[in-house]
């Protein structure tokens, strides 16, 4: 019963955070900066992503040198870059569009992607997205490890959330197996810990701001650095067993 109450409170918290995000997105500051993304999931947009040709995407992965950072089959060779194997096609497409539109920027690695995305058409992005989505979720890159003890410490917040802080369970959006469960919510299983930590700190500081309605920015600000560290190892270890 207690767990059900906590989960209910967490769900209320999620709704409150989205409401706060909506207000922030449409406030005076947002009016000056514009929306966090230009991608709207209309039927036409979804059909475009679904039309992606994974074979052509594989060719682009080679020709555009995407493989040098994300691997020949979407598994990053180091922990400095995200693995994209098994990633939801819609999420990959959105990220590429956000880079091209200047909605995702602020770090040295992001600026590299901004330059790459400028050379891609929407169809190119759909093709790449389907290429990466065609693989299973990745194991960790060679030489990258995770801490099982830290992963265990993150389990409560990931699976149940924290009603006291109005934090919804991470798995409510990212899926019970870290596979991603909502159109613009990414798979996290097998993500290198270093990249996960870097991303969460960018959300926490506001350096990354392409999350719709500030959802991840609001959540990241409630988490301690140690909790972020623990979550990074939790998701990294999901495909390392």
Q: Residue 52: pLDDT above 80?
A: yes
Arithmetic mean of pLDDT, 187-207? 94
Per residue, what are the HEC states of 34-70? CCCCCCCCCHHHHHHHHCCCHHHHHHHHHHCCCHHHH
What is the pLDDT at residue 80? Answer: 87
Q: Residue 240 and residue 189: Cα distance in Å, rounded?
A: 9
How many CB atoms are located within 10 Å of the residue 59 CB? 14
pLDDT of residue 174 exceeding 60, the answer is yes
168 near 14, Cβ under 8 Å? yes
Does residue 18 carry a pLDDT above 90?
Answer: no
Angstrom CA distances, 191 to 36, 38, 57, 144, 156, stand at 24, 26, 21, 10, 19
135: burial class by Cβ within 10 Å (0-12, 13-18, 19+)? middle
Q: Residue 177 contacts by C-beta under 8 Å, 6 or more apart in sequence?
A: 189, 238
- Of 118, 109, 107, nearest in space to 76 by CA: 109
43-133 is classed in which CATH architecture? Orthogonal Bundle (1.10)
pLDDT of residue 240: 60
Is residue 162 classed as helix, strand or coil in its secondary structure? strand
- Long-range contacts of the stretch 156-159 (C-beta < 8 A, 24+): 157/223, 157/227, 157/231, 158/231, 158/234
The position carrying tokens 């590429």 is 96
Q: What is the mean pLDDT of residues 197-204?
A: 96
DSSP conformational letter for 167: B
Sequence spans of domains, the chain: 2-33+142-239, 43-133
- The tokens of 93 are what? 């497409």
Equal CATH topology for 2-33+142-239 and 43-133: yes
Confidence of residue 209 (pLDDT cuts 50, 70, 90): very high
pLDDT digits (tens, 9 = 90+) for 97-121: 999 999 998 788 889 999 999 999 9
- pLDDT of 66 > 90? The answer is yes
Q: Which of 82-86, 105-109, 122-126 has the lowest mean pLDDT?
A: 105-109
Spatial contact of 197 and 40, defined as CB atoms under 8 Å apart: no
- If you average pLDDT over every residue of the chain, what do you get? 86
pLDDT score of 21 more than 70: no
Class of 2-33+142-239 in CATH: mainly alpha
Distance of alpha carbon 2 from alpha carbon 42, whole angstroms: 39
What is the model's pLDDT at position 26? 37
Between residues 5 and 116, which one has the greater pLDDT?
A: 116
Instruction: Say yes or no to pLDDT of 183 above 90.
Output: no
Among the listed residues 188, 193, 197, the one whose alpha carbon sits nearest the alpha carbon of residue 86? 188
């Amino acid at each position: 019963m207690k767990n059900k109450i906590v989960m209910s409170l967490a769900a209320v918290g999620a709704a409150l955070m989205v409401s706060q995000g909506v207000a922030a997105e449409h406030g005076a500051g947002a009016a000056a900066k514009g929306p966090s993304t230009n991608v709207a999931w209309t039927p036409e947009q979804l059909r475009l992503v679904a039309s992606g040709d994974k074979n052509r995407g594989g060719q682009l992965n080679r020709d555009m040198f995407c493989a040098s950072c994300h691997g020949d089959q979407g598994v990053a060779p180091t922990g400095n870059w995200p693995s994209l194997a098994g990633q939801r096609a819609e999420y990959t497409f959105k990220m590429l569009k956000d880079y091209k539109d200047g909605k995702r920027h602020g770090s040295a690695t992001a600026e590299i992607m901004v330059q790459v995305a400028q050379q891609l058409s929407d169809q190119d992005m759909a093709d790449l997205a389907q290429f990466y989505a065609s693989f299973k979720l990745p194991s960790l890159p060679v030489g990258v490890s995770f801490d099982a003890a830290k992963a265990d410490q993150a389990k409560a917040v990931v699976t149940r959330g924290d009603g006291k802080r109005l934090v919804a369970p991470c798995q409510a959006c990212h899926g019970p197996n870290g596979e991603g469960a909502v159109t613009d919510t990414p798979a996290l299983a097998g993500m290198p810990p270093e990249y996960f930590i870097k991303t969460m700190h960018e959300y926490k500081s506001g350096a990354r701001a392409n999350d719709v309605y500030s959802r991840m920015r609001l959540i990241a600000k409630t988490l301690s650095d140690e909790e972020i560290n623990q979550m990074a190892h939790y998701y990294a270890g999901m495909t390392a067993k």
